[in-house]
């Protein structure tokens, strides 16, 4: 085994142990349990709604085996109802009162469906990608883990969002790069390229959001966060949260471009050792702009997809165009998506510059005590290799 892969294996082993420990030590904030429907009784039928009394037998957690009766409210709008049949499972939220156990229905039991979705996805990956499918899947899972178990709990405690998200971004980029490229010069140059462009875009978005008076209070869930946080007395800075959301969305695409440019420049510098830093930089920019041409669509279209309901609502409410565009949510989406794409645009020159410096052969030749940056190859007169090995 090479040194590189041995180091990588060790790293993964300890990282996964750490992740698993975190996973099991994770404390529940509320008591959720899975219950199986035993019996459904119709309690009340009114013109707008009806109430069912459903008896559950709890099948998970500390209250396993107990029976509990819960009210299920059925409204005239189908979408706000949970329709349950005998033998079906549901998720309950339980509360222990002095008189006994009470609770409410949270919703359908989707765990099995979630794992089935994972399985279908893995099967598809395996069919197309082959043996390396686990690597792809693990990189997604690791990033999800980092986000759900590290970034969000710290944000909930009220810590400074750019700091938390900065650590999350740094950690996730580092892990993704270790998966894709391994510990090498390529990794370092991609890492530096992504982080530098994210920093620049962060500063830019701070300036622009401040000037455009985007407070972060009018997003999809901001009102809920406000009310939830008020009871606990934590201060959350919505403005910094808005900036962090822009940076996160730029991350994935930025890593992709950085890796492409670094790998390309590594091979290219080996093929053309006579090029100096400027030549490598120019080649990197050419390739980068080719990749950029299609990749900048991705972030903007994803943001647009998330904004479709609000756009349609505003259209139906006959709000004038000027007001729609200046609505905080819409303008934050537009500015945010363009800024996230700007991270992608910034990554190209920054990564080209860093990779050009790293893979510049004349420098390493100088260090090896060989030719001072002169072109090398086979000496045609006596057929001897002139290069001393890079």
User: Which secondary structure element, helix H or strand E, spans residue 355, and what is its range?
Assistant: helix 328-358
Q: Which is nearer to another protein, 84 or 370 (CB)?
A: 84
Q: Which is nearer to another protein, 260 or 362 (CB)?
A: 260
* Binding of residue 378 to another protein (CB under 8 A): no
Longest dimension (CA), the chain: 101
Which residues is 51 bridged to in the sheet?
44, 73
Q: Length of the chain in residues, anyone?
A: 390
Tell me how many helices (H) and strands (E) the chain has. 12, 7
How many Å separate Cα 85 from the centre of its chain?
37
Q: Which is nearer to another protein, 6 or 157 (CB)?
A: 157
Positions 256 through 295 that interact with another protein (CB under 8 A): 256, 259-260, 285-286, 288-295
* Binding of residue 104 to another protein (CB under 8 A): yes
* Binding of residue 93 to another protein (CB under 8 A): yes
Count of residues binding another protein (CB under 8 A)? 145
Class of residue 73 by CB neighbours under 10 A (exposed 0-12, middle 13-18, buried 19+)? middle
From the CB of 164, what's the least distance to another protein, in Å? 11
Determine the Cα–Cα distance for residues 177 and 187; give it in Å rounded to an integer.
6
* Binding of residue 20 to another protein (CB under 8 A): no
Binding string, residues 150-189; x marks residues near another protein by CB under 8 A: --xx-xx-------------------x--xx---------
Q: Which is nearer to another protein, 281 or 376 (CB)?
A: 281
Q: Are 105 and 54 in contact (CB under 8 A)?
A: yes
State the pairing for strand pair 89-97/100-108.
antiparallel
* Binding of residue 45 to another protein (CB under 8 A): no
Q: Which is nearer to another protein, 314 or 354 (CB)?
A: 314
Binding string, residues 111-140; x marks residues near another protein by CB under 8 A: x-xx--xx-xx--xx-xxxx-x--xx--xx
Determine the Cα–Cα distance for residues 271 and 351; give it in Å rounded to an integer.
19
Q: Which is nearer to another protein, 107 or 377 (CB)?
A: 107
């Amino acid at each position: 085994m090479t040194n590189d892969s041995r180091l990588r294996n060790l790293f993964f082993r300890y990282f996964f142990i750490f992740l698993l420990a975190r996973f099991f030590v994770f404390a529940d904030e509320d008591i959720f349990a899975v219950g199986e429907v035993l019996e459904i009784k119709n309690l009340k039928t009114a013109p707008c709604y009806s109430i069912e009394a459903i008896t559950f037998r709890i099948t998970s957690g500390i209250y396993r085996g107990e029976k509990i009766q819960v009210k299920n409210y059925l409204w005239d709008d189908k979408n706000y109802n949970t329709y349950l049949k005998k033998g079906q499972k549901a998720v309950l939220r339980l509360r222990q009162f002095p008189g006994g156990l009470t609770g409410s229905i949270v919703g359908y039991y989707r765990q099995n469906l979630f794992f089935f979705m994972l399985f279908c996805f893995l099967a598809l990956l395996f069919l197309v990608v082959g043996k390396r499918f686990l690597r792809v899947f693990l990189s997604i899972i690791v990033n999800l883990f980092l986000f759900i178990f590290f970034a969000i709990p710290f944000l909930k405690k009220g810590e400074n969002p750019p700091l938390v998200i900065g650590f999350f971004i740094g950690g996730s980029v580092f892990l993704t790069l270790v998966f894709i490229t391994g510990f090498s010069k390529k990794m370092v140059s991609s890492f530096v390229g992504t982080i530098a462009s994210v920093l620049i875009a962060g500063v830019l978005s701070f300036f622009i959001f401040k000037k455009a008076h985007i407070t972060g209070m009018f997003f999809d869930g901001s009102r809920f966060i406000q009310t939830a946080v008020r009871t606990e007395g934590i201060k959350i800075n919505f403005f910094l949260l808005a900036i962090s959301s822009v940076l996160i969305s730029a991350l994935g695409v930025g890593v992709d471009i950085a890796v492409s440019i670094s790998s390309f420049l590594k091979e290219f510098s080996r093929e053309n050792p006579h090029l100096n830093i400027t030549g490598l930089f120019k080649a990197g920019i050419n390739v980068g702009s080719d990749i950029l041409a299609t990749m900048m669509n991705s972030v903007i279209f994803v943001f647009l997809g998330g904004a479709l309901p609000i756009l349609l609502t505003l259209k139906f409410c006959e709000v004038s165009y000027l007001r729609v565009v200046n609505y905080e949510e819409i303008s934050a989406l537009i500015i945010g998506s363009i800024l996230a794409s700007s991270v992608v645009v910034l990554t190209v020159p920054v990564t080209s510059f860093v990779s050009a410096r790293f893979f510049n052969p004349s420098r390493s030749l100088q260090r090896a005590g060989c030719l001072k940056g002169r072109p090398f190859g086979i000496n045609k007169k006596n057929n001897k290799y002139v290069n001393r090995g890079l």
